[in-house]
Structure 1
Amino acid sequence: MMNETTIDETSISAKFMLGKFECTVVSDGPFTLGSPSKAFGENSADEVTRILAELSLPTDSVNLQQNMLIVNTGRRRILFDAGSGRSPDFGAKAFGQSTGHMLKSMAKAGISPDEIDVIAITHAHPDHCWGLTDPSGKAIYKNATVLISEAEFDHWMSPAALDPSRSAAARFIAQGAQANLSPYIDQIAFVDDGDDPIEGVTALLAAGHSPGHTLYQIESEGDKLLHWGDLVHHPVLLAKPDLGFVFDFDGAQAVRTRLKVLEKAASENTKIFSCHLDFPGIGHLSRTQGSYEWRSALF
C-alpha cells in the first residue's frame, strides 16, 4: 500500500513506498507549449479557453511539469524516462533554461546516475529521452539497460526520419532522438506489449502519441501504479479526452488509446503516475459524463 509521502521542495523530489518498492519522483523542470490554440488546435480554441477558465488555469498558455519516476525494487533501480537534458544543440535549444534539472534533482535526492540499472523509455520525444546524454553527447547512465519498444526505436532511428521531405521540426526531434539513443546502442533491449522485463514491471503498448508509445505498470505486494507516459499531458485532455493534441503522431489512434486507458483506470481506481500533471504526478481519476478529473493520491 502506498503510504506517507515525503516532499523535499528544495531538491524538487518526493519519496513514497509502493509495496516494498521505494519510489522517488524528481523534477526536470517545467516548460510551456505556448498558446492553447497551438497545443490543442484552432478549431477547439473557444472550448479549451472555457475549460481552462473553469479549471482556474491560465487561458493564454499551456504549462507542463516534467516529473520523472525512479523505482528501487531492492534488486534494481529503474528510471522511467530521462528528461530533456542540457545539450545546447537539443534540450537547452528546445526548452531553454527552465528544464534539464533532473540530474541536480537526483543528486539532491541522493541518487547517482551510476546507480541506475534500467531506463524504461515510454517514447523518444525530446522531454523523455534527450536527457540520456550529457552536453558533450556522451552517455550519462553508463551501467543502465535501456528498455524501449522496437516500433519506437525503429521509427526514430530510421534514416527516413531525417528525410528532407519531413518538416524541420520533425527532423530536429529525430536528430535529438538519434543523438541520445545511439550511445546506448549496445545497451538497448526491446519490450513488447505484456512483457515483464523486470520483476514487478509490465510494459503496455499504447501507440498513438508516438508509434511505439509504451506505458508501464509497476506492482509490489499487490500495490499497483500505472506510469501512463504521455497519455495525458494536461488537465484539458481529462476534461475533454477526445481532443486532439499537437504532438500526437497519429491523432485518431491517440484519442482511441486515451479513451480506452482512461475508462479502465477510472473504473479500477488505478493509481497513476503522470509525467506532466502537477508535481509529483501521483493520482487517481474521477469520471463524470465522459470527462475525468485528477485527484492527487498524496495530499
Structure 2
Amino acid sequence: MAAIDMSGDSITVGVGVTTAQRYATLLANSLSRTIVSRAKSGDMAADQAQKAISQARASTSIATIMVGTNDERVYGTSSVRRGYYIAFLRRLVLDAAAPVRKTGRSTAVAKVGTWFNTQVNTIGITTTQKGAKATATVSGTAVYIGTILQNHPSARGVAQVKIDGQIVGTVSSDGTGGMNTYNGLSYGSAAFRFGGLSNGTHKVELTVTSASGQNFRLDYISGNGGQAGVKTFVSNIIRKTAYGYAKVGGSDANVSAYNADIATLISTLDSDSLGVYLVNNWSGFNPATHLLPDGVHPNPAGHSRIYSTFRGAILAHI
C-alpha cells in the first residue's frame, strides 16, 4: 500500500481526540494509504526539517506538511525569526519534493580549503576558514542550497554565492537572532533559493566570506531540473480562539502574516515545477466551532474539516 508521509506538530498527532478522529487517520483511510509520520507535539519547522533529512520516500508516496502553529506563537512578530521559519519550511518541503542533490560530502561537490563533516547529519560539511570554496554543477531554472542555521556565537558563517560566474547573493548559517524551538533545538536544517535562471546547467560556487573561526555549514547544492520528488501538500496555519492566543501566544494578525509568507513560498516552488501545493486550511476553519476548549487544538469537527481540505487538494493533483 502506498504511503502518506506526514510532517507536523500536535495537530497532526491529534492531541485531544481519538486516533480514529484525527485528520491523519481520516485522510489515510480515505486514500487507502499507510501513515508514515514524524509529527510531534510542540515541534516547529526546524524540528521537523531536521527529522526529515534522510527520509526516503517511494515514488508512489505523497507528503503532507502542517507545521507552523508553534513557530507563529514562539517566533512572534520578528521578521528575522519569521525568515528562519520560512528557511526551515523551505528545506522541509524540498527534502520531499526535490531530493536529487549534490551533497556536501560527495565528490560531486568540489572543495577548496579545510572542510569537516557536520556532526548532526550524514551529508553535510562545515568550514571555519575564510576563503574556503564549494562548487557543483546543477540543472534547471533555480538553485537550492541546503545549510544549517544555528544559534551559537561561532555559527555566523556566510558564503557568497556565484552562479555561472555572477554574484547572486549570500547564504548564512547564522541563527543567533533567536531560532531556538519550543522543544529546545538550537539548530535546524534550512534551504535557500536563487531563481530566474535560464533553463540548463549552471555552475554554482560558494566562497566563505566571513571571518575565520565562524562556522559555515553546507548540506547540499541542487537545482530544480531532473528532480524525482513526491507530490507535496503544505498547509497554512489555522487560527486559535482569543483564549488560546492568551494561553500560548500569537494572534490572528500574526497568523495572517505567516500565512502570506507560506503562500509566497509555495507559489515560488510550484513555479519551479516541483509538484508542491498549498492547502488552505485557514479558510473556513472556525475557531468557535472547530477547536477544543483549550482554544488551540482541533476538536473532532475541526479534524474533519482539515481532512476534507487536505483530501480535496490531494485529489485535485493525483
Give the TM-score normalised by the residue count of structure 1: 0.31
Name the larger-Rg structure: 2
Q: Relative contact order, CA 8 A, sep 6+: which one is greater?
A: 2
